[in-house]
Structure 1
Amino acid sequence: MKRILLAALGAISLSACAQAPGGGQAPGATASAPVAKPTVAAAQAKAGTPDARAIEAVRVLNPKVKVERVGAAPMPGFREAIVAGQVVYVSDDGRYLFLPGSGGALFDVQAQKNLSEDAMNVVRKQLLQTIPRSERIVFAPTNPKYTVSVFTDVECGYCRKLHSDIAEYNRQGIAIEYLAFPRMGIGSDDYKKMVAVWCAPDRRKALTDAKNGRGPTNASCKTSVNQQYDVGRRAGLTGTPMILTAEGVEVGGYLPPAALRQALDKLAAEQAPVATAKPGA
């Protein structure tokens, strides 16, 4: 949670340069000056006030970031805080924190949960279930401890790095089920290579060859590559590889075998039911 918040607050949006259609000022219109909202420096916030609760909420999630200023938000019931050069919104009771922007998320500060990510986990799980195992390229040990779905691309460097260690992932007890995500888009040369892989009689060999620059470049058959690409987009994929658990939890992009096993072990421990003592024990 704290790592995610730190990354989100420290990130710079690269999509801000694009202007949406119709976003310009209408001809003849006069721009009105923005109304300045009163704020106070974080150090001046009085204890027990919504300002102080907003500052504390940020510090609960990530004590390393600095709250610069805090004040009233444009919507009632929230405070607006400037944190590490970005704007965040915190409910007046300090319970919820919202990070705006393309990678925005809503946090329950008290429960230490990313509510937006929880909702996406449900969506991702449902989306993954639409792709049958027969349409995945599977590299698995005999009795895997964990199974993950990995959206991959034959050209991406980290995808190739991950696949070069496929035997070690299997030794770590992790089954890798590959899904196609040609990052250059439908109809690209990259896409054609991935279609050729999925058309090959031995998909595992074809994928390995393609990641080593020896793969097929052209083939024509009915595949689910388009469907898998669509699922990846709807699952919120922004780069390859993307590693998802069966529950739809995004573990990350590229992770070395031991690090992925550690991450999966941690998730399993967090999701394990808490044992309760029996009466009279």
Structure 2
Amino acid sequence: MKLLYCIAALLASASLTACAQAPQPGQPAKPAAAPAAAPAAAAPTGATPEARARAALQTLNPQVQIDYVGEAPLPGFREVIVGGQVVLVSDDGKYLVQGSVLDIAQKKELTQSSPALSKYRVDLLKSVKAGDRIVFAPPNPKYTISVFTDIECGYCRKLHSEIAEYNRQGIAIEYMAFPRMGLGSKDHLDMISVWCASDRKQALTDAKNGKPVPKRSCQSTPVDMEYNLGQRLGISGTPAVFAPDGSQLGGYLPPDKMRQALDELAAGVSGGIN
């Protein structure tokens, strides 16, 4: 019954190396008790499998935002992107599959490696202007990763404490704001102050080192926009790290392991990336 209450957070379990996002207002921390069993509803009808997939999800949550519906690699199913994650809905609208689906012959995971999901992520990430990111980059970086971060998360602080080594590994880090305690929290207000600083890089470094954040305001900041975009990407904890092709590298990885993961991704080697 969990889908009835959090369809937009499917597959959004936090990384073991990330700080979990706090429950947000209007989003219950735990699903309510399931009601007594009712007669099964008729399968959604529609002119196409895509229409039936949309109708099926909307019977679970009429307000759900569906970002993509297309043919799935699993015969008889449609691939749907919702809450930044992939689920599969049968062409007749009767069944929903969430979680990993493995092609045994090819030894390939089919859902989180979806080309449609990668394109969806890349398009969202590209919508954030360069000037709205806080960038720590070496000259001529080999790789550029997008990292959704906050100030208080311990793994975010650990990652930032090694920023020079990431750069030495040829990795540029482009930070975006994701105050995991939610909009209106102290973390959120402090991140606005960081993004409004005249020297954002120093302000972010100071904040991650535990220094008090001087209160600042400015006409506009990207913090709210980046947080909302992170929600659409299905982020549930920080740091949330994305490779240039939209693959999610999980949470914190040491600099040498991050470089290894990026090298393997560039070489087409399957690793622990989703």
Question: What does the per-residue CA deviation read over 1:105-143, in whole Å, with 9 as the maximum and x for residues that have no partner?
Answer: 333333333332123222111110100111100000001
Residue 209 of structure 2: aligned partner: 212
Separation of aligned partners in 2, 1:268 and 1:239: 25
Separation of aligned partners in 2, 1:116 and 1:197: 37
Separation of aligned partners in 2, 1:199 and 1:172: 29
Give the drift of 1:236: 1.4
Separation of aligned partners in 1, 2:190 and 2:179: 9
Q: Does 1:228 align with 2:230?
A: no
Residue 112 of structure 1: aligned partner: 107
Moved over 4 A (4+): 98-101
Separation of aligned partners in 1, 2:226 and 2:241: 14
User: What is the letter of the counterpart of residue 112 of structure 1?
Assistant: K
Residue 123 of structure 1: aligned partner: 120
Q: Is the 8 A contact 1:193 1:215 kept in 2?
A: no
Residue 260 of structure 1: aligned partner: 258
Percent identity over paired residues? 55
Residue 24 of structure 1: aligned partner: 35
Separation of aligned partners in 2, 1:142 and 1:162: 20
User: What is the letter of the counterpart of residue 259 of structure 1?
Assistant: K
Distance 1:99 1:148, change over 3 A: farther
Structure 2: stretches of 5+ with no match in the other structure? 1-12, 17-27, 41-75, 78-87, 89-94, 270-274
What is the DSSP-based 3-state SS (H/G/I as helix, E as strand, rest coil) of the residue aligned with 1:116? coil
CA RMSD of aligned residues (A): 3.1
Match of 2:176 among 179, 187, 190: 179
Higher relative contact order (CA 8 A, sep 6+): 2
Distance 1:255 1:218, change over 3 A: same
Q: Does 1:157 align with 2:154?
A: yes
User: What is the letter of the counterpart of residue 169 of structure 1?
Assistant: Y
Question: What does the per-residue CA deviation read over 1:221-266, in whole Å, with 9 as the maximum and x for residues that have no partner?
Answer: 2101111111111111111001101111011200000010011111
Separation of aligned partners in 2, 1:99 and 1:170: 43
Separation of aligned partners in 2, 1:99 and 1:265: 35
User: What is the letter of the counterpart of residue 155 of structure 1?
Assistant: E
User: What is the letter of the counterpart of residue 230 of structure 1?
Assistant: N
Give the drift of 1:213: 1.4
Structure 1: stretches of 5+ with no match in the other structure? 1-7, 33-76, 79-88, 90-97, 272-281
Separation of aligned partners in 2, 1:135 and 1:17: 34
Residue 61 of structure 2: aligned partner: none
Pair member with larger Rg: 1
Question: What TM-score, normalized by structure 1, do the two folds share?
Answer: 0.62
User: What is the letter of the counterpart of residue 154 of structure 2?
Assistant: G
What is the DSSP-based 3-state SS (H/G/I as helix, E as strand, rest coil) of the residue aligned with 1:105? coil
Separation of aligned partners in 1, 2:263 and 2:96: 28
User: What is the letter of the counterpart of residue 24 of structure 1?
Assistant: P
What is the DSSP-based 3-state SS (H/G/I as helix, E as strand, rest coil) of the residue aligned with 1:150? strand
Q: Does 1:168 align with 2:165?
A: yes
Residue 250 of structure 1: aligned partner: 248
Question: What TM-score, normalized by structure 2, do the two folds share?
Answer: 0.63
Separation of aligned partners in 2, 1:147 and 1:107: 29
Residue 132 of structure 1: aligned partner: 129
Give the drift of 1:17: 4.6
Separation of aligned partners in 2, 1:24 and 1:121: 37
Larger deviation, residues 161-170 vs 262-271? 262-271
Match of 1:203 among 183, 188, 200: 200
User: What is the letter of the counterpart of residue 31 of structure 2?
Assistant: A
Separation of aligned partners in 2, 1:142 and 1:186: 35
What is the DSSP-based 3-state SS (H/G/I as helix, E as strand, rest coil) of the residue aligned with 1:213? coil
Separation of aligned partners in 2, 1:25 and 1:153: 41
Matches within 5 A, 1:3-18: 17-18=30-31
